[in-house]
Homo-oligomer: A and B are copies of this chain.
Amino acid sequence: MRIVVDAMGSDSYPAPDVEGAVLAAREWNDTIILVGKEDLIRAELKKHDTSGLNIEVVHAGEVIEMTDKPADVVRGKPDSSMHIGMNLVKIGEADAYVTAGNTGGVLAVATLRALKRIKGIQRPALTAIFPNLTGMIMAADIGANADCKPEYLLQFAFMTSIFARQAMGIENPRVALLSNGEEEGKGNELVKGTIPLMRGQSAVNYVGNMEPKEVLAGETDIVIHDGFTGNVFIKSIESTASMVGKLIKKEIRAGAITSVGGLLAKPAFGRVSKHTDPFEVGGAPLLGLNGIVIVAHGRSNGGAIKNAIRQARRAAAGNVIEAIREGIPAL
C-alpha cells in the first residue's frame, strides 16, 4: 500500500508528521510518501532510524498555513503539499492522503482542485470517529456543510455506512439522525424532511432519531446531522469532557486528603483520558471525493498521525471509494 502523508500539515510541522510516517512505515511496512519542503523533511527524517523502511519524499514548495483562508489557497498555492499530495492519489500513484492541515484548506483543494467529488455525490462529508460508552461512533457532517438539504444527509448516511462496513468492519451499521427528541413529530424541518428519505433506502440501516444521550450510550453506530449542528455537537462533547476533568482536578487539589486520593486514583484518570482522547482514533475521513482523504487534528503528535494513517490504510484496503461510487442511492 502507498500512503501520502502531508509533512507540512500539523501545527508543529514537520516533526509530528514525519514521526507518524516513520512509525507507520515501521509497523505496517507500507510505502509512505512524505510531501512538503524536501530539505525540511530530509533533516527531520535524519532524527529517526529509517533503515529498511519504505519512505519516499516528494517536494512541494508551498505550505498552506492554519491561518490561510480556503478561498485563497485553491488557486493561490498550486505547489502546496495539499495540491501535490492529493494529486498523487488522483493519478493513481498512491492509495490515500493523510493531513493534519487546515481543514477548510483540505476541503477546498480536494473539492475544487485535486480529487473533486464523486459523480452523483452532492456534498462531501467531514466525519468524526469518536469514543462513546460502548465503543466507537461515526458522526457526519461535522463542519463541511453548515446548511444542508435532506438529500445531503441521506448521502452522508450512505457514505458513512460504507466506511463503517468496509473500513471498520461493522456488518450492518445502525444509522440515527441527531434530533431534539426521539418521538414522531420532533426535529427541525431538515430532520423531518430527511426521515422519509432514510426510511426508503435499503442502503442505509436507519434506526430512528436520537438525542445526544442515546448516541453517547452507544445505541447507534453512526449519527447524521448538518455540519453546523454536528460541529456544535462534537465540540460540546470535547469541551464538556475537558471542563469536567479540570473541575475534578481543581477540587481534588483543594484538600490534602483528596489530593492523596487523586494521586492513588491517577491510573484510572489516565485510562479515561485515553478512552476519550480524540487522537487515539486518529483522523476524520473526508468522504465523497475521488480518493481517500483523512484529516488529522492540527495538534496531532506522531502517534496521532500514525493512527490517522491506520485509518487511511483500512479505508484503502476496504475499497471505500469504489463502494461509494457503485452504491449511491437514487434520490
Contact = CB atoms under 8 A, between A and B. Distances in A.
Nearest to A247: B272
Interface string A214-233: 00110000000111110111
Interface string A142-186: 010011000000000000000000000000000000111100001
Contacts of A191: 228
Interface residues of A, number: 61
Contact of A216 (B188, B243, B268): B243
Contact of A265 (B238, B258, B271): B258
A226 B180 contact: no
A215 to B, nearest CB: 8
A262 B257 CA distance: 11
Contacts of A51: none
Contact of A237 (B227, B236, B248): B236
Contacts of A238: 212-213
Nearest to A148: B188
Contacts of A227: 180
A254 B252 CA distance: 20
A202 interface: no
B133 A243 contact: yes
Interface string A67-105: 000000000000000000000000000000000000000
A226 B216 CA distance: 22
A103 to B, nearest CB: 10
B240 A268 contact: no
Given A212-B236, A265-B262, A132 B243 contact: yes
Given A188-B226, A188-B228, A260-B261, 20 more contacts: A133-B246, A146-B180, A146-B187, A179-B228, A191-B228, A216-B240, A229-B232, A232-B232, A232-B233, A232-B236, A233-B233, A248-B269, A248-B272, A251-B268, A251-B269, A258-B264, A258-B268, A261-B262, A262-B265, A264-B264
